[in-house]
Structures are given as structure tokens and as C-alpha cells.
Amino acid sequence: MDRRDSEPEPMETDQNTPDNTYNDNAEEKRQKKKQIRHNKEKQRENIMTSGNLFIITFKNLLQNSNAQKEVMCHYMERVLHSIFFFGNIYSPPISPDNFLPDQRTEKFKDVFPKPFSEYNTHLPRYTPYSILLEYMTESLKPENPDAFLKKLVAVNESLWKSFDEEGNQPIANDFTLTASVVTYCCVKDSKDAKVLKKAYGSSMSCKGKTERRIMIALSTLHVWDRVISYAVCRQGNGLPITFPEQVHCNAYSFITKRGGYEEIPPCTKCNKMYIVKFNPEHQAHNKEERWLYGNCAENEAFSKLLQTHKDVKIEICIRDDDGKKLMNREDIEKKFKEDYEDKMQREVKQLLTSRKFKFTSGEWKFFTPSYFV
């Protein structure tokens, strides 16, 4: 099975300038430059289309599920802020107005003014798709993954409904804000396999390597449980994190052609980072996956499970090959702080500065919605 959490990046133009062009003649060089410019413009259009579709789809989802006014504002403000933030750090920046058709901009500004004034001064904690997933799990309370994925398919169909000028439906990778993989993890009763606790997570759904590195760094510092942050920062070096035996994990990849989800095994990176009951199990192969540590949906799902269920968190540890406990949860958290916290802070600051993000008075400010639910 081919795992696809991790968008190949066919149109990432900031890295695809060839360095072996000195032999090319002038015409070839001109054509290549033209192609790069064309790709860049196309990518920019895709980001705007994706943002626009996401806003409209999410608004419809909130309305159709009869979300209360406060709930609607809470989630809509977060989604708008996150989309505008990614537009702002794109190079060259995309302004909030570009994500909304003319007649809608003023209306959105009136109802949700905060994201319009804070997208360039405040940071998001989540990508838009993670916020959508959170709304769907918190408010719609799906019974099981099958019921949940069915609902998610309907949302994804709205997100992928646009067509290009030749009438081709865009591929998932063009949709910069949609996660292709969703992970479900749960704690099962060891006697009757009844699900006692559960959590969902999505893969890092934002376009561009720099954008993903920013979100992974912000997540390790300010969002994820520190045990997950430690596993991500170690990048597969050292012994894995061991979950209690009752924890199970299933990942699902969205197949656009079929319009449905398919179960997939964990990637090599996740398999190196975590000892947990993956279903299906990891399948060994020689390819090194190209995505970054921290990109996979497993990290968000595990983090949510640990943050909402302290009893699971208490049992987390690192064991040696003979099963002897080497580090408990507190040791792991301490080690993250000592070894990685400063490094990640420097990294995210440098990345954000490279994308002209303004730190007002040198502070890190995170976006908070007007209503808490």
C-alpha cells in the first residue's frame, strides 16, 4: 500500500531551480524560467482556491450541523485566522481579501473582525483541517471511525469539487489545506475490546516545506504533549516511545478517485518513533519517506489522546530492547526541555522571520477566538 501523508511537492518552486543549467542555451533557460513562473502562479491560484473552498465548506458544515452562534464563531474565527496566516507567510504574501469573493469580504469582516486584524501579528496553533477535525469530533461526537470517515468524505468532496480550465478535477496535492491522512487511536478494554477512550488527528495540512516546518516547530513547543514533541524532535534516533498495551492506532488515507478512505500502515518514521498496536502493521520497505518527522497524523492523534486522558499519559515510557524501563514520562518531558526547547524556538523564529512575520515587541502571541466553547 502506498502511504500518502505527505504531499509530494510537484509545484514547490522555491527549491526547483536547477543548478546544472550552465550548458543550456538561452532559449531553454528562458523556457525554464517561464515554466517556473507559470508553476508559481498556478500554485498561488491553487492556494487561493483552496482557502476559498475551505472557508465556504466549513461555514456550510457549521450551518448544516446547527452549530450554536458561539460555537460557530469560535471555530470560524480560528479557521479564518489560520488560512490568512498561511496566506501572509506565503512568498509573495496572499492577503485575506484574496481568499474571499469580493461581495463576501466585507460581510466576513463585519461578523469575524478578529482574524482580519490579527493574521499578521498572532500565530495559529493548528492548521485549518485540524480545526475542522476538532469541530467534527467535539461537536458531532462520532460513534466510531467508520461513521466519522463517512462524514469526512462528504466534507472532502466539497473541498475537491472545483475543476481546472481543462475540466480535470485537481489532485489532492493541489489542495493545500486538506489533509490526505487521518489517524484514529483508541484505548481498548483488555478483556472485551470495548473502546474506552479515543482521539483523531490529521497530517500536517499546509502547502510548502517551510510552512510545514513552522507548524511542526510551533506544535512541538505549544500544542503537542511533550512526549510527542520529544519523539518528533529526535527524528527517529534512539529508542521509541512505548504506549500502554491497550492503545491501538489506525491510519486512513483519502483516495480522491474513489472518494473514500483506505486503511494504511504506519510509515517508517512513525514505526521508529512509537511502539503501539498499529493496524495494519508496518510493512518494511527500502524507500525513505520524504516527509518531515512530525508531518504524520499519528502525532496529533497520540498527542490528543495523552492530553485528554492523563491515565494513559502516566504509563508512557521508553524501554530498552529487553523491556526494562529506562525513562518515565517525567524524564521524557525534562529531556525535551533540556535538549530541544531552545533549538525549536530559535528555528521557528528564524523561519517566521524569513517569511517576514512581524513579532510585535519581540513577543510570541497566539490567536485566541472571541468565544470559548
Q: Which residues bind Zn ion (CB under 5 A)?
A: 267, 269-270, 296
**What is the closest distance, in whole angstroms, from the C-beta atom of residue 255 to Zn ion in the complex?**
18
- The span from the CA of 51 to the CA of 357, in Å, is 20
**What is the closest distance, in whole angstroms, from the C-beta atom of residue 225 to Zn ion in the complex?**
17
Residue with cell 491560484: 45
| SS3 (DSSP) at 202 | strand
**What is the closest distance, in whole angstroms, from the C-beta atom of residue 174 to Zn ion in the complex?**
22
**What is the closest distance, in whole angstroms, from the C-beta atom of residue 297 to Zn ion in the complex?**
8
Would strands 247-255 and 260-264 be described as parallel, antiparallel, or unpaired?
antiparallel
Q: Rounded to 5, what percent of the chain is helix, strand, coil?
A: 50, 10, 40
Which set of grid coordinates corresponds to residue 266? Answer: 504506519
DSSP letter assigned to residue 337: I
Would strands 195-202 and 260-264 be described as parallel, antiparallel, or unpaired?
unpaired
88 vs 253, beta carbon nearer Zn ion: 253
186 vs 296, beta carbon nearer Zn ion: 296
173 vs 268, beta carbon nearer Zn ion: 268
155 vs 296, beta carbon nearer Zn ion: 296
- The span from the CA of 230 to the CA of 128, in Å, is 24
Q: 29 vs 22, 33, 41, CA distance in Å?
A: 9, 6, 18
**What is the closest distance, in whole angstroms, from the C-beta atom of residue 215 to Zn ion in the complex?**
16
- The span from the CA of 251 to the CA of 248, in Å, is 10
**What is the closest distance, in whole angstroms, from the C-beta atom of residue 1 to Zn ion in the complex?**
13
**What is the closest distance, in whole angstroms, from the C-beta atom of residue 131 to Zn ion in the complex?**
21
296 vs 316, beta carbon nearer Zn ion: 296
Are 54 and 83 in contact by the 8 Å Cβ rule? The answer is yes
120 vs 203, beta carbon nearer Zn ion: 203
231 vs 296, beta carbon nearer Zn ion: 296
Please give the distance of CA 20 from its chain centroid, rounded to a whole number: 34
Q: 54 vs 160, 250, 328, 347, CA distance in Å?
A: 10, 26, 41, 29
